[in-house]
Chain A
């Protein structure tokens, strides 16, 4: 794309361009076959009621799957009125007004809404209803998981990268050892963590907390709603920090030493050096690492599937459950499309925010 004016190009340049396109063709065809075609298939299936592993007829049902997944509504909960006094009923224990229950207020036709959350606004009580609360939960879980795990990985990874980037004896060994968690297959490391997080003193964490006198040795890390998500974050941070560190280390290596030497001569301390030299020059590498990790974390599957099964879903495990468990291929495809759009949105946002120029790499 170095030439701005197409009309002014020589015959040779045109010919070169044609050759370039021809050389690109095989790659393009492969992309079409392995990415665009299956993706198109998913889009198409998401508009049908296709069943997985079944001989049942498939029908085209339009946007029904999406409607079932994503519809939300807000209804006001009227206070319960006492029939005798015509006054709102007040709970005697708590002193608060009693409202109608969401289940009797939320619409049931054509699709049923379930309670997602209740909230008060301007003195009225409202309920947020969703047709597929599990999916909304899965999205929230995944987003919380992604934001916290990627942030922690970036912070820790940067620390690790800075340490192994400095010159010390045994640098090579340290760099290799650092990569071990990343090299372990996720299903295997998830099992390992399952044992360490066991809800009794056979588990490492319970033994540690018990020995330190911080808990009774029976903390259910993987079974209690509040701890589940944080356990997932811990497993992922442990596993992927090395990857983050590796990407950042590559970025650090490209920063010439002369800059630091010059800065030192000018009297800049280590902190000043970090923020004036390291950080700005590391930004492109950081952007790439963040994009990689965020997109990867958004489609997290293995850790959730192995450790939490059906008790809490990520977007991908919910997709798996609808496809395999309920054999609902149409709906599962619609979930796939929604995941696609969410991840796509994240990718665009990153590119805009971090000012990554895709062409510059060429």
Chain B
């Protein structure tokens, strides 16, 4: 009897111990911590503390890729100069989009009033609409016509404007003007040309004593960035957009398979094998150190590359991405919006902050200093903006015609769709499977997730 009883106590104790160990990772009430705990950044300028009693504090959750954070803080300062009774805090959030989404979701699940304004990705409005106010209720109707209509439409869910466009993005090809001249090349118009040029330059530069030189860097880690890059390859090769806007699964086609297999051939040849672990900032580090001939990246890398501390200042330019079979390059539509939380304690002021930050003056400052593409059309004709980033004018068509990811058609399952896609492409890039097999499987996965028909 005694032994048995003892056993039960032991069992119970073990169970409770194990249970409390698990509380961190298993309990939905306390979701696991995000990978990079976001630390509230110092307020840009603490206003007079004496007034803090009636001062309204607005917190903006913003990105910190490149110089984003400084620019957001600067925009916050611009607002606070005009509105001394408001203190705008900028909250630094993780670089990788998924991590950022994870952090936001935890605020939403808790219906937290801690963050008032969220910087959200162009693919999120459909999924997150229920947590944001309708900006039309706060005077957005007056300014909305200044912005690109396609993005405004993207941000409108059931007639509600859930986010105001802040900056737009499209994938670009960065190339070294000095090296192309040295090896006598024109900027590549097709992927085949890029492959050839990259390999010639890589070989030449390595022979001349830079063993770290690589031909082409891009975003190959298993994350949303790879969805963007791979979508560009596929769309430029006439392979569709994974899932068509009408809700047909189109990914398993010969053109898509061909270009993904081609891209897998770059890994370890013109691109380092580590490219399958690279995000935007990793590829920019290689590029800006002067160790790559070509880079696929967003416009933000332009002004950073021309900064004084850059090894390639004045030695590079941008062009549209190369074309595949379709004869035209494709650029994935990116970009970020500002949305106001439904759980905010001061939605009016938060909306005012959001609309100010997405307004003409703040967007202009961000375009001039950070080469972040404005969403306000008239800024593309502004002399100061064009002087800082001449490609805004010459590549206007790229920004206008950027290819959207299938986030609207697949809402609210876009994240699952994208994860299945980039993991599938990633397994092809790392060589564990060929594209034909991978996409055959992926097509069925996507059907499971969305319930759509396969074309």
Q: Does A10 contact B (CB under 8 A)?
A: no
Q: A53, B105: Cβ atoms under 8 Å?
A: yes
Contact mask for chain A residues 182-222; partner B; CB cutoff 8 A; 1 contact, 0 none: 00000100000000001111100000001000001111101
Min CB gap A137→B, angstroms: 11
A218 to B33, CA, bound (A): 32
Q: Does A245 contact B (CB under 8 A)?
A: no
Contact mask for chain B residues 295-323; partner A; CB cutoff 8 A; 1 contact, 0 none: 00000000000000000000000000000
A220 to B423, CA, bound (A): 18
Q: Does A225 contact B (CB under 8 A)?
A: yes
Q: B18, A347: Cβ atoms under 8 Å?
A: yes
A222 to B98, CA, bound (A): 19
Q: B221, A223: Cβ atoms under 8 Å?
A: yes
Q: Does B130 contact A (CB under 8 A)?
A: yes
Q: How many A-B residue pairs have CB under 8 A?
A: 203
A361 to B296, CA, bound (A): 62
Q: Does B253 contact A (CB under 8 A)?
A: no
9-residue interface stretch from B7-15, B159-167, B326-334:
B7-15
Q: A112, B444: Cβ atoms under 8 Å?
A: yes
Min CB gap B81→A, angstroms: 35
Q: B448, A223: Cβ atoms under 8 Å?
A: no
Q: Does B440 contact A (CB under 8 A)?
A: yes
Q: B18, A108: Cβ atoms under 8 Å?
A: no
The number of chain B residues with a CB under 8 A from chain A is 70
Min CB gap A293→B, angstroms: 12
Contact pick for B9, options A42, A217, A327, A358, CB 8 Å: A358
A residues less than 8 Å from B444 (CB atoms): 103, 108, 112
Contact pick for B26, options A4, A112, A310, A337, CB 8 Å: A337
A4 to B211, CA, bound (A): 78
Q: B109, A53: Cβ atoms under 8 Å?
A: yes
Q: A103-B441, A320-B32 are in contact. Are A340 and B26 (CB under 8 A)?
A: yes
Q: B18, A344: Cβ atoms under 8 Å?
A: yes
Contact pick for A224, options B10, B24, B108, B273, CB 8 Å: B273
Q: Does B118 contact A (CB under 8 A)?
A: no
A305 to B31, CA, bound (A): 14
Q: Does B37 contact A (CB under 8 A)?
A: yes
Q: Does B182 contact A (CB under 8 A)?
A: no
B residues less than 8 Å from A333 (CB atoms): 26, 28
Q: Does A62 contact B (CB under 8 A)?
A: no
Q: B6, A309: Cβ atoms under 8 Å?
A: no
A residues less than 8 Å from B36 (CB atoms): 187, 306
Q: A319, B32: Cβ atoms under 8 Å?
A: yes
Q: Does A127 contact B (CB under 8 A)?
A: no
Q: B35, A305: Cβ atoms under 8 Å?
A: yes
B residues less than 8 Å from A34 (CB atoms): 20, 23
| Contact residues of B between 224 and 275, Cβ < 8 Å to A | 272-275
A42 to B26, CA, bound (A): 7
Q: A1-B2, A187-B35, A358-B10 are in contact. Are A199 and B274 (CB under 8 A)?
A: yes
Contact pick for A220, options B31, B32, B130, B274, CB 8 Å: B274
Contact pick for A200, options B29, B101, B223, B286, CB 8 Å: B286
Q: B222, A45: Cβ atoms under 8 Å?
A: no
A residues less than 8 Å from B14 (CB atoms): 344, 347-348, 351
A329 to B313, CA, bound (A): 48
Q: B18, A309: Cβ atoms under 8 Å?
A: no
Q: A358, B13: Cβ atoms under 8 Å?
A: yes
Q: Does B66 contact A (CB under 8 A)?
A: no
Q: A223-B274, A306-B35, A311-B221 are in contact. Are A339 and B22 (CB under 8 A)?
A: yes
A residues less than 8 Å from B109 (CB atoms): 52-53
Q: B16, A311: Cβ atoms under 8 Å?
A: no
A302 to B33, CA, bound (A): 9
Q: Identify which of B32, B273, B276, B291 gathers the most chain A CB atoms within 10 Å of its CB.
A: B32
9-residue interface stretch from B170-178, B372-380, B414-422:
B414-422
Min CB gap B281→A, angstroms: 12
Min CB gap A206→B, angstroms: 9
Min CB gap B385→A, angstroms: 34
Q: B273, A301: Cβ atoms under 8 Å?
A: no
Q: Does A265 contact B (CB under 8 A)?
A: no
Contact pick for A39, options B19, B101, B102, B131, CB 8 Å: B19
Min CB gap B450→A, angstroms: 13
Min CB gap A68→B, angstroms: 10
A316 to B27, CA, bound (A): 11
Q: Does A54 contact B (CB under 8 A)?
A: yes
Q: A319, B2: Cβ atoms under 8 Å?
A: no
Q: A35, B23: Cβ atoms under 8 Å?
A: yes
Pairs across A and B, CB under 8 Å, 27 listed: A4-B2, A34-B23, A38-B23, A38-B30, A39-B23, A53-B105, A103-B441, A199-B275, A199-B278, A200-B272, A201-B211, A220-B276, A220-B277, A222-B274, A223-B275, A302-B35, A306-B35, A309-B222, A310-B98, A324-B32, A332-B28, A336-B22, A339-B26, A347-B18, A348-B14, A358-B13, A359-B9
